[in-house]
Structure 1
Amino acid sequence: MKLSEIDANELSREQITKILFGNEQDNNKQGDCIFVYGGRGIERVHKAVDLYKQQRANYILFSGGLKYGKYTYPEAATMRDKALEMGIPIKAILTEELSNNTKENAISSLFTLENKFGIHTIKHLLVISVPWHYRRGMLSLKTYYPKWINYTWCPASYMKCQPDNWWQYPESYRYVMKEIANLVKFVREGQLMDIELRI
């Protein structure tokens, strides 16, 4: 079944989990850069710092702006400041501070990568976001980025929103149900590439 053909209201809990969280495991590969989707949670920064200290990549790119004016300080700058406090050198940090959502995170960060490295030199990105953002985060990159770039999914650690427990917590449940509705909506609108899924 194509993702665009899915009725989010008819999905079982297991199907929602499979679609949103995926089953991709960290393959421990090296990357040209650690790409962090926008967000306020410290968990993303912890994951990026861990990967950097494991020498998986020499640079971290934090993405995220003011969220349509919701914040007065860009998400990317907040994450950068936290990473600096954790010992990451400023020369290893890139920021993209214009974007307001996932699609904009991806597109705006493409220009940051081009300006720093030349996009033609990028072969592999380590991708960080919240666990339930796997499908939309990866589809955004695969829709808008050059086809030669490969990705390793490295979700931040959210103990109360894992594939085996997200429905047990009201806040996590709301996040996940909103995410599945948005995912299908954006695919149907053509903002994200459509894919075949076995659910």
Structure 2
Amino acid sequence: MLISQFDPENLLPNHIDSILFNNLVDDGSKGDVIFVFGSQKSLKYRVPEAINLYKQNRASRILFSGGHQWQGQSDVEAKMMKEEAIKQGIPEEHILIEPISKYTKENVLFSLELLDSSIGLTNVKRILIVTTAYHMRRCHLTMMTLLPNSISYTFCPVNDESTRRDTWFTNEIGTARVREECKKLITYIRNNHLMDFDVELS
């Protein structure tokens, strides 16, 4: 069923599960760059995953994207993530940062320019996407919409405390977040901001 065909005001739990989580698991492939989307808690959840992927030789570069400066942090997301990665032994020359973007579409658009100038888009065949599990579908569709069709993707989702696939429906924060995320996806697709996608119903 196409995502655009779902009714955003009447989503059943299996609809949410299908839209946000189906078939978004790590296939173990190696890639050219590990792309990390910033967030308020990216240092806690996303950076460790990126570091693990790098140390497993899954890709030779990490790109940290995000221009928000959250309360209690001394700099914007991308720079904070880079700083932590260096502390954990990642060579600085293997890190790219995009420190301006404020939301998912900008993450991809601004990083596109960075990838082209630093690596060359023609040299990027596969991107390993690191973000929270419930955010992965939007990141993937944004990349598919804006980046060249020649690029393939591997999903490397991480779990936070409230929006795991197996627990979001057990708490109010998780339920609200995943419902809002589904509504965003459906709206963006219907408004032609993202390509539509056929998901298998759970």
Instruction: Tell me the TM-score normalised to structure 2 length.
Output: 0.91
Query: In structure 1, the residue corresponding to 2:9 is in which secondary structure?
Result: helix
Q: 1:124 aligns with which of 126, 132, 139?
A: 126
Query: In structure 2, the residue corresponding to 1:10 is in which secondary structure?
Result: coil
- Cα distance, 1:102 vs structure 2: 0.6
**Matches of 2:76 and 2:70, distance apart in 1:** 10
Residue 145 of structure 2 is matched in structure 1 by 143
Superposed structure 1 runs of 4+ greater than 4 Å apart: none
Q: How many residues align?
A: 198
- Cα distance, 1:72 vs structure 2: 7.0
Q: Which 10-residue stretch deviates more, 54-63 or 20-29? A: 20-29
**Matches of 2:95 and 2:66, distance apart in 1:** 14
CA pair 68-160 structure 1, distance change in 2 beyond 3 A: closer
Residue 11 of structure 1 is matched in structure 2 by 11
Paired residue type of 1:182: K
The within-5 A match list for 1:108-119 is 108-119=110-121
The within-5 A match list for 1:59-98 is 59-66=61-68, 73-98=75-100
Residue 57 of structure 1 is matched in structure 2 by 59
**Matches of 1:157 and 1:178, distance apart in 2:** 17
Query: In structure 1, the residue corresponding to 2:137 is in which secondary structure?
Result: helix
Query: In structure 2, the residue corresponding to 1:112 is in which secondary structure?
Result: helix
- Cα distance, 1:139 vs structure 2: 0.3
1:44 to 2:37 alignment = no
**Matches of 1:18 and 1:166, distance apart in 2:** 13
**Matches of 2:96 and 2:12, distance apart in 1:** 40
Structure 2 stretches lacking a partner, 5+ long = none
Structure 1 stretches lacking a partner, 5+ long = none
Give the root-mean-square deviation of aligned CA atoms.
1.9
- Cα distance, 1:67 vs structure 2: 7.0
**Matches of 2:200 and 2:92, distance apart in 1:** 43
The answer to whether the Cα contact below 8 Å between 1:33 and 1:61 also exists between their aligned partners in 2 is yes
**Matches of 2:199 and 2:29, distance apart in 1:** 26
Q: 1:105 aligns with which of 100, 104, 107?
A: 107
Paired-residue identity, %: 36
**Matches of 2:10 and 2:128, distance apart in 1:** 33
